[in-house]
A and B are shown apart, each in its own frame.
Chain A
Amino acid sequence: MNLTVYRLAKHLGAKMGSIGLFFALLPSLAMAKYEYNMEPPVSATGLSAYHLHNWMTMVCLVIFVVVFAVLGYSLYAHRKSVGHKAASFHENTLVELAWTIVPFLILIVIAVPATKALIAMKDTSEPDITIKVTGYQWKWGYDYLKGDGEGIKFISTLSTPQAQINGQEPKGENYLLEVDNPIVVPVNKKIRILTTANDVIHSWAMPAFAIKQDAVPGFIRDTAFRVEKEGTYRGQCSELCGKDHGFMPIVVEVVSDEKYAAWVEDQKKKMAAAAGDPNKVWTLDESKAYGEKVYATNCVACHQANGKGIPGAFKALDGSPIATGPKAEHISRVLNGKAGTAMAAFGKQLSDADIAAVITYERNSWSNKTGEVIQPSEIKAAR
């Protein structure tokens, strides 16, 4: 379809939602804000898919109106109550051929731009930066594999406080769409995303880029985007991945080249600092305090803050044989996970210091009082 049609569709498509205005008239809800259509995407490929959608919706609407206008006339004019008598015709080969062939031709007209839009969308070649995205239950891991920022890696989790979710605090503006560590990319650069997952299938989705790519454990998939506008963009996991599927958002900050360079610098410093001294010997209090933080980001969703887990679904740590028994087994369970359950192998996600601290925390919290301090060196040895 040519550009004029697209431009027309762009204007008309937004009006589609006016049908919904009917509902906006309900008194108590009249003042609320309503979104009737997609936000126009900020990438060229996304924009062409967006216009395709608006145009198709218009085509469908026109056909719908025409067919139901004919039906509407018939319902009005051919009523028994106005004395209309039934005709007896019941077939007409010409008419039937026409309404088989015409829709087929309309479909061909739709298929042409649909094919073009898809081919553009699927082009992931020659990226400037390649980032591996790993889905975890229930957070995202980012790994800058190639291009500026190579070597940066971090985990990104929901930063909305539990109190907001439970209604004990007012909900913030970006409720459920905010994370501790957003992924940062430069504007106007082609970013290739490789997706995979650690446990179950997740899906990395960013509506503003018209991107959605499943992350399948054991396999690598890819998708790409080139964003033309700086800003903060928000999306969510889009494949049911267990109980906290609704709580693993995606935030992408698209920044200028200068800001990106500064961010890369900053991240590298942070990573160097976090690595710390591998031979440091931790005290019980130090280790437990740090472990509590690690627990809060990685373990609390299943095992709960009180260590009781969720009966029938997630095991309790409080008083459990592993968290109070020999520490070698505890280390091995955290490093390697347990097959066939939601217990992931955290050895692949967390540093020695993180794992040591969280095990110390688990062995010395609630009613667990082993008094043992696990050192990072022990984790390193057990890997």
Chain B
Amino acid sequence: MIKSQRINVFQYVPFLRGVLRSRLFQPVLTISTLFFFTLAIVTGLFGTPVGNRNFGIVFVWIVWWGLLIILLVPFLGRLWCAACPIPVPGEWLQRRGIINRRKGRLSTLRWKFPKRLRNMWLQNFGFLGVAIFSAIILTRPEVSAWLLLGFSLIGIILSILYENRVFCRYVCPVGGFIGLYSLMSPVEVRVQDPQVCATHTPKDCIIGNEYAYGCPWMVFPGTLERNTYCGMCMECIKACPKNNVVINLRPVGSDLMVAKERRLDEAYKAFIMLACALLYSVVLLGPWGWLKQWANMDTLPHWLAYAGVFLLANLLLLPGLFTLTALLSQRLGRIQLPLRQLVTDYAYTLVPLGLTAWIAFSFSLVFTNGSYALGVLSDPFGWGWNLFGTTESTWMPFGSALIPFLQTGILTTGMLFAVNTAYKIAGQHTPNPRQALRGMLPVTGFIMSITFAFLWLYLG
């Protein structure tokens, strides 16, 4: 049934397989983004400290962010991870090359990454660590540049210590939520026939061969059922001697129903992302200037209070309220499942809601501030250059009248999708549709409350 809902893209666009099998595919992406990444670092460190006149701020936190959350993640899942320039210096060091497949194992110290950390918790705390400084990072080019450089440095160090993309898989704060939200993506890298993989003992996709490296994300494509940890680097497509790995189009959000791989660390990622979207909307888009100042560390006590409330809301308040909701659902639906597991399962209803909330937030951010990009294209450092004659272009919010409609539309879509997901998840734990319906009611209430909170914030 599920298979029948997939469309193998290679069948309709045969040359795509050739493109993705080329060893040039990923380097072309990463070297292109490395150019902009380097420019963002250099402008951040040496350009004007005025955020909206600095390429490093405008192109990273407005242009890239907008592309990522509005287009890439919803439509192409983790494809950004294949193009991301941050981990590539480390990866190139491991591989002792950029394009070609070098013989032999990766050059690392071959340490074993601790089992306890092989999950999303580091990414959760890393994201929160960055999030509490976000008002500063998003506006101060130098801080932003050091943060990006720091990520790259951590990537290099981890690549020296461990094999493969440990940084991307377990550490990168951005990769965590891209992974979670890529569950929604209508695109996937999957094997056509798992039986082929089961009987193909060499497992080229894991250990690599003369054409490709073994999966850098430490995933076995043969049993891959969700997008979360597939970095879409296409090494498995290159490696598979049976041409069994393909790109599929599929119904949006298909991965949400894969019950066996649901985990608390991912559930917490969903809580954190939703809470952050709500808090960012309050702090960065809301009318409370004093709150923005607190987040901007006008005084240390103010910022500490802000950070404390921020962390509390993310780690206790929202998960706590959601746990109460799940408890209510458990009672109403007479669901025979431990509460912890039920909370974890239901948390996946917050994936569509969180993603659409971030898209709605980003509409405001990108449409309102996108015009800054024209100015910094011509004068990326704020040094008075005028490379393309657009330096003096004025700030002009785009589609101000349209934004509330887009936000309402996307949030409503997310809410309906989330409610539908809640019903399906409840149905996975009870065979009785009426019980499932009763069980989903509290979760529906929670989802609707959060949606209305967003709508109230955006529409006033």
A and B, one complex?
no
Residue numbers of B with Cβ under 8 A of A are none
Residues of A within 8 A of B (CB): none
